Structure 1
Amino acid sequence: MQEQRPRGPRSGHPLTKAVIIDAAMLIVEQGGANALTLRRLGAELGTDHTAVLRHFRGKDQIILGLAERLMSEALSEFEPGSGWRATLSQLARQVRQTCIRHPSVAVLAAMRVSRSPDEFRGADIVIAALSQVGLRGRKAALIYRTITDLALAAGSYEAAMLTLDESARDGDREALRREYLLASPRDYPHLAAVAQFLADVDDEEQFETALELILDGIEVHAARVAGSSETSPG
């Protein structure tokens, strides 16, 4: 199938922020995080790179635009669940899937603060869910920052793994199947006891387990906060 190029001056369409981000996405997905430069972007768009600076103040602003695009895509098919736990689970899965679809872009931009309406919408969804479990004010802010950073870190880590050379990924997988099984039971008794199961854990299972631990942690923390409020002097 013939590759579609982003619309821009080369095809007679006006240069806009959306067109520039389309081109930046393509460059990063094809060449990796280090491939994005203003000159490469100008060449991809069929224009002088200085034209890009009429829409973005510099490369960092473009990276923030990529972060905004990731969040926009993650939210595009998001529907809140029937309760706080289902809502946060669904949002986390959407973010993860977006990172997996665009691993090089996620490595470059997922951890940035885009200051965009979609990012604000995502934050509002998370904080609303936390309020349902009794976390408000500064506690809600603390837990929001903590769990979103954990979720983005997990998505970015998995994305980074996908950008590795295939031989490196195969080597790491093979280490779990072979080298870990050879670990001395005398020197590493606890590792040796579970080594046979390590290679069986896939990315999906690992993500879902991490998500469950985070959600369980929120519930325990909310209960602790509620208990503390009840016992504090009135």
Structure 2
Amino acid sequence: MTQSGTEAAPKAKPRRGRPPSTSLNQTLILDTALAIVESEGPDALTLRRLGADLGANHTAVLRHFSGKDEILLGLAERLIQEAMDGFVPAESWRQTLESLARRVRAACLAHPQVAVLVATRVSRRGAEFHGADVVIGALREAGFADRDAARYYRSLVDTAMALSAYEAAFAALDSQSQEGDRMAWRREYLAVSPAQYPNLAAVAPFLAEADADDQFETTLALILDAVAARAITLRPAT
């Protein structure tokens, strides 16, 4: 009883488990989307599934994102944010591009299911703008005019993402499929007929040595060697 003689209203019991929809925000939604994709694959990500995991009607998600596509762009930005976190350009343009490409690869391999889903997207957000500014700055430092810097930026970024997404797609496979593909270099390729495939047979013992790290670094070096060669042609003759 209260001092006035009337009974106090019982206190409302707090909700357990899922957060109320009023607590939704973009960060929480993207965290949940990321968890769904990483645990169950890209096909599991739907607005209804997001709503269920967030403890809200799926329409509540649409107060923060215009639709699933904007959520995917948010996940793409997350990958770039992870790659750019703490990044400082190196002393030379080439070292800057090498370091950034390795960071993009590491972020994609840390979240392979997400990388496969969003590697081709343009997030059009702050982290992507930061990355673009760094790459273009490195190319301008190498001596390229603005038009060429823009062209090479597009080519370099697309190639780095394609390489990383390709590797992420392999990482997203089940362990049995991964092992089967790895063993093919040591088994089927070593067993090819020298009479039918003379060139392949000659190098077959070395194919297994070219692991994922070697492939990435070799491809990166080839691309940057080509960029450096073109940059040399721009330098004035002495």
TM over 0.5: yes
Q: Distance in 2 between matches of 1:24 and 1:11?
A: 15
Q: Distance in 2 between matches of 1:173 and 1:53?
A: 43
Shift of 1:110: 2.1
**Which residue of 50, 57, 60 maps to 1:41?**
50
Q: Distance in 1 between matches of 2:42 and 2:88?
A: 31
Partner residue in 1 for 2:67:
58
Shift of 1:77: 2.6
**Which residue of 162, 176, 185 maps to 1:176?**
185
> For 1:37-80, what per-residue CA distance to the aligned partner results, in whole angstroms no more than 9, with x for missing partners?
00110111111100000111111110000001111111013121
Matches for 1:185-196 after TM superposition, within 5 Å: 185-196=194-205
Matches for 1:9-28 after TM superposition, within 5 Å: 10-11=18-19, 14-28=23-37
Q: Distance in 1 between matches of 2:120 and 2:96?
A: 21
Using structure 2 for the length normalisation, give the TM-score: 0.89
Q: Distance in 2 between matches of 1:136 and 1:28?
A: 41
Q: Counterpart amino acid of 2:223?
A: I
Shift of 1:160: 0.3
Shift of 1:11: 3.5
Please give the secondary structure, in 1, of the residue aligned with 2:88.
Answer: coil
Using structure 1 for the length normalisation, give the TM-score: 0.90
Partner residue in 2 for 1:85:
94
Partner residue in 2 for 1:70:
79
Q: Counterpart amino acid of 1:68?
A: E
Structure 2, unaligned runs of 5 or more = 1-16
Judge conservation of contact 1:127–1:144 (CA < 8 Å) in 2.
Answer: yes
Write out the 4+ residue segments of structure 1 that deviate beyond 2 Å after TM superposition. 9-13
Q: Counterpart amino acid of 1:63?
A: L
Verify: 1:118 aligned to 2:127, yes or no.
yes
Please give the secondary structure, in 2, of the residue aligned with 1:80.
Answer: coil
Larger relative helix fraction? 1
Shift of 1:185: 1.1
Verify: 1:154 aligned to 2:163, yes or no.
yes
Structure 1, unaligned runs of 5 or more = 1-8
Whose Rg is larger?
A: 2
Q: Counterpart amino acid of 1:176?
A: W
Aligned-residue CA RMSD (Å): 1.5
